[in-house]
Amino acid sequence: MILDGKCPTGPIEKTWDKHRFDMKLVNPANKRKYKILVVGTGLAGGAAAASLGELGYNVEAFCYQDSPRRAHSIAAQGGINAAKNYPNDGDSIYRLFYDTIKGGDFRAREADVWRLAQVSNNIIDQCVAQGVPFARDYAGYLDNRSFGGAQVSRTFYARGQTGQQLLLGAYSALARQIKAGTVKMFPRTEMLDLVVVDGEAKGITIRDLVTGEIRTHVGDAVVLCTGGYVNVFYLSTNAMGCSVTAAWKAHKKGAFFANPCYTQIHPTCIPQHGDKQSKLTLMSESLRNDGRCWVPKKQGDNRAPGQIPDEDRDYYLERKYPSFGNLAPRDIASRAAKEQCDDNRGVGPGGRGVYLDFASSIQRLGESTIRERYGNLFEMYEKITDENAYKVPMRIYPAPHYSMGGLWVDYNCMSNVPGLFVLGEANFSVHGANRLGASALMQGLADGYFVIPYTIADYLARITPGKVKADHPECKKSVEDVNNDLKKFVSINGKKTVTEFHRELGKIMWNNVGMARSEESCKEALKVIPQIREEFWKNVKVSGSGAEFNQQLENAGRVADFLEFAELMTLDALHRNESCGGHFRVEHQMPDGEAKRDDENYCYAAAWEFKGVGKEPELHKEPLKFENVHLAIRSYK
């Protein structure tokens, strides 16, 4: 099937305004008759629930943490982009649009990206109004810095805690609506199934993580804002609870999963220290503004960094990408780091690391300036590694970080299942095959504050509210299915823990479908994943019962879904016989090792339809048209 993104036509700079005018509206007096279920309260979900509640809809919001304030958006450090052009350095909506399309290696939809760039400015205003303490200069104006992949300073930041501050802004707006009674919040609640009635999304089945109760909430629309899936690699920069579960359950109920193989590996993470590690910690990419990446020129040179003179150092990013230098986009910087390590010039335990050196910046700007800019990051680094990065260079290594793929949505952020909307990292729309730094926060808030409030009305205005009740047979069946799954987990009583399975899966995924993939490695993964899955269902050990607070059980469900999802992700990586952005197939590279796209055959979004566990999914293609940006080789030289 050829999918249609339903993008408005005409001059791109008018598309969103025109579309907004063309959409239907819901009469203010009728809004409260519509119930909207918002799953996930990170930047996307928090902003959506607050905005929809404020408009007068009857909103129920869900998250698995004990408070909406803890969604993993909280961890974003670096900043958020907007085309404000405050520094007067040549930025514009068009440039942000262009950079995002190019950064995504021409695998995103033009209209969606344009809209994102257009509303980016409103986001900053909105957050300032909420009291988000963005960095200011001495005159009191908002401060900007530059971020990976951009030659203009368009990144707004709040110390090293931008995601936290933006999320707390959305959270406070949400809190206001909870108090006002327009939003009902269900924390410690996990969505375990999507209820589809007559082809439309009409509810979700959840597990109350405190009591273990399984029940269905029905509504007139479901908005999934459940974040990314890179925990499929086990070790990643995501929080322990981040999972593909909500998206996967929706996928199993008919929603197409688009481009699952597009995952982003972040170049500046703290290297792994041992095999008992549970997660990797990101160091903000903003560090690359003042840090210089290098490795020893000689293989196996294990002198202390201070002992290696400049002429024996290879500042490989500056050498290979003179105009972007240390600020080369993530996929390029990550791969370059891995290349150095694969070439036996890595540093630190196991040679899994490269230096990020601040010595020359400290010399130039003084330690106090560096401390002011990155103090908390240096602190964090020291806590984890016991090393003082003001004195010795940091060691960094790439780690899985972000998923560009996600549930397929049209221009309205609605999936192919009517009534099911998907926002934020959980959808696939704007980042193409690679996301630029500081643009995920922008997307989450754009979707939540400025897109869904309009587009959902267009759907709701066409349906009758409250048609499905909680005693509908589909709801009952869904509760039954979920219950059966949970019972199965506890009854297996095998020998291996959930974490052991997760680790095993992660290793396969990282080695075979990680930063570099090949036909061979994907095929191998496709052999092994079903085996692990099979063993899981025979040999997993989950203690306790379903009718209580049971973290093992929660985790078992998430890992079980990863075990199914991993196969789709690998299949997608195998089918996409080209390299683009974060998807790097070793067979397809330029002579200098850059990703080599195949626009002839793969200039489309791949949306997969579920056909059963272990069964070949069906591929639907949404062709991508580039009318405003020339399809060009992405060059950061």
Closest C-alpha to 620, from 561, 572, 579 = 572
* Subset of 188-217 contacting ligand FAD (CB under 6 A): 190-191
CA 57 to chain centre: 27
Closest CB to another protein among residues 168, 255 = 168
Closest CB to ligand FAD among residues 248, 602 = 248
CA–CA gap between residue 289 and residue 635 (Å, rounded): 20
* Subset of 475-514 contacting another protein (CB under 8 A): 495, 497, 499-500
Beta partners for 266? 399
Tokens of 501: 């399975």
Site string for another protein, 312-341 (x = CB under 8 A): ------------------------------
Q: Which of another protein, ligand FAD, none binds 549 (CB below 5-8 Å, type-dependent)?
A: another protein
Q: Which of another protein, ligand FAD, none binds 224 (CB below 5-8 Å, type-dependent)?
A: none
CA–CA gap between residue 450 and residue 423 (Å, rounded): 11
Taking the alpha carbons at both ends of the chain, their separation in whole angstroms is 39
Tokens of 457: 């009305």
Single out the residue of 13, 33, 130, 530 in contact with another protein (rule: CB under 8 A).
Answer: 130
Closest C-alpha to 71, from 327, 405, 339, 425 = 425
CA–CA gap between residue 130 and residue 237 (Å, rounded): 28
136: exposed, middle or buried (C-beta count within 10 Å: 0-12, 13-18, 19+)? exposed
Tell me which amino acid residue 214 is: I
Q: Which of ligand FAD, another protein, none binds 632 (CB below 5-8 Å, type-dependent)?
A: none
Single out the residue of 55, 63, 96, 362 in contact with ligand FAD (rule: CB under 6 A).
Answer: 63
Question: Does residue number 4 form part of the binding site for another protein (CB under 8 A)?
Answer: no
Q: Which of ligand FAD, another protein, none binds 173 (CB below 5-8 Å, type-dependent)?
A: another protein
What is the greatest pairwise CA distance in the chain?
Answer: 74
579: exposed, middle or buried (C-beta count within 10 Å: 0-12, 13-18, 19+)? buried
* Subset of 592-631 contacting another protein (CB under 8 A): none
Segment contacting ligand FAD by CB under 6 A, of 173-181, 357-365, 439-447, 472-480: 439-447
Single out the residue of 4, 17, 66, 480 in contact with another protein (rule: CB under 8 A).
Answer: 66
Closest C-alpha to 469, from 220, 267, 292 = 220
Closest C-alpha to 627, from 114, 82, 2, 262 = 114
Residues in the chain: 637
Residue 330 falls in the annotated catalytic set: yes
Question: Does residue number 444 form part of the binding site for ligand FAD (CB under 6 A)?
Answer: yes
Q: Which of another protein, ligand FAD, none binds 402 (CB below 5-8 Å, type-dependent)?
A: ligand FAD
Question: Does residue number 172 form part of the binding site for another protein (CB under 8 A)?
Answer: yes
Single out the residue of 177, 245, 326, 555 in contact with ligand FAD (rule: CB under 6 A).
Answer: 245
Rg value, the chain, Cα: 24
Site string for ligand FAD, 92-111 (x = CB under 6 A): --------------------
Tokens of 506: 């992660």
Exposure string (b/e) for 251-262, b if CB count within 10 Å is 16 or more?
bbbbbbbbbbbb
CA–CA gap between residue 415 and residue 446 (Å, rounded): 17
Segment contacting ligand FAD by CB under 6 A, of 41-49, 95-103, 363-371, 495-503: 41-49
Single out the residue of 377, 438, 516, 624 in contact with ligand FAD (rule: CB under 6 A).
Answer: 438
Segment contacting another protein by CB under 8 A, of 137-145, 189-197, 425-433, 521-529: 137-145
CA–CA gap between residue 570 and residue 459 (Å, rounded): 34
Segment contacting ligand FAD by CB under 6 A, of 5-13, 84-92, 221-229, 372-380: 221-229
CA–CA gap between residue 127 and residue 143 (Å, rounded): 14
Segment contacting ligand FAD by CB under 6 A, of 21-29, 220-228, 330-338, 582-590: 220-228
Closest CB to ligand FAD among residues 40, 329 = 40
CA–CA gap between residue 80 and residue 156 (Å, rounded): 5
**Residue 395 CB, nearest distance to another protein (Å)?**
13
* Subset of 85-124 contacting another protein (CB under 8 A): 86, 122, 124
The catalytic residue among 207, 330, 435, 597 is: 330
Output the CA angle 124-129-134, nearest 5 degrees.
Answer: 55
Question: Does residue number 67 form part of the binding site for another protein (CB under 8 A)?
Answer: yes
Q: Which of ligand FAD, another protein, none binds 39 (CB below 5-8 Å, type-dependent)?
A: ligand FAD
623: exposed, middle or buried (C-beta count within 10 Å: 0-12, 13-18, 19+)? exposed
Closest CB to ligand FAD among residues 31, 431 = 431
Which parts of this chain interact with ligand FAD (CB under 6 A)? 39-45, 62-65, 71-73, 75-80, 162-163, 190-191, 225-228, 237-238, 243, 245-246, 282, 401-402, 424-426, 438-441, 444
Point out the residues that are catalytic: 330
